[in-house]
Amino acid sequence: MCGVAGFPRCGYYRFLDPVKPAPVPVAAPAMPADPPLALRVLLAEDNAVNRKLAVRILEKHGHRVTVAVNGREAMEALVRDQFDAILMDVQMPEMDGFEATAAIRRSERGSGRHIPIVAMTAHAMKGDREQCLQSGMDAYLSKPSVGKNFWTSRKA
């Protein structure tokens, strides 16, 4: 039989054990429509699994996420919309995170604007963080830790 003790689940149907009373549904607390610290985040990530995970984590915290699968798409998104922060994968096809960051920083010159760019990379070798920061990125996250460490990097 499929399922777990007393509450088997088979496909879309859940069969209840007739001996035990049905559980009383408890409403989840309502999330505010627009939390006070909600950010508009541009996520530049070519890996579908990493992208899905990052989007889920960010949206769970109330942020609005726009996705780009490479640096070129990230640049196009910046022309169409404004963002509070960018999570930038370092290695992507067409235009990598370093090239995209350099282009973003060039476009910001003289505008008085500076979008925080957080590098996301599987590179965790000594010197990788420094390379990201020297290229114009504001913070560095080693994948796959996007959740809790994102908040820490924003404060840095």
Does the model's pTM come out above 0.75? no
- Give domain 40-155's CATH number out of 3.30.70.20, 3.40.50.2300, 3.40.50.300, 3.30.830.10: 3.40.50.2300
Q: Is the peptide bond before 144 cis (omega within 30 degrees of 0)?
A: yes
Q: Which of 86, 36, 33, 38 is nearest to 64 (CA)?
A: 38
pLDDT in tens, 76-106: 999 999 999 999 999 999 999 999 999 999 9
Amino acid at 125: M
pLDDT digits (tens, 9 = 90+) for 113-145: 999 999 988 766 778 888 899 999 999 888 765
pLDDT higher than 60, residue 15? no
Could you state, in order of their start, the residue ranges of all structural domains in the chain?
40-155
What's the CA gap between 14 and 11, in Å, rounded?
8
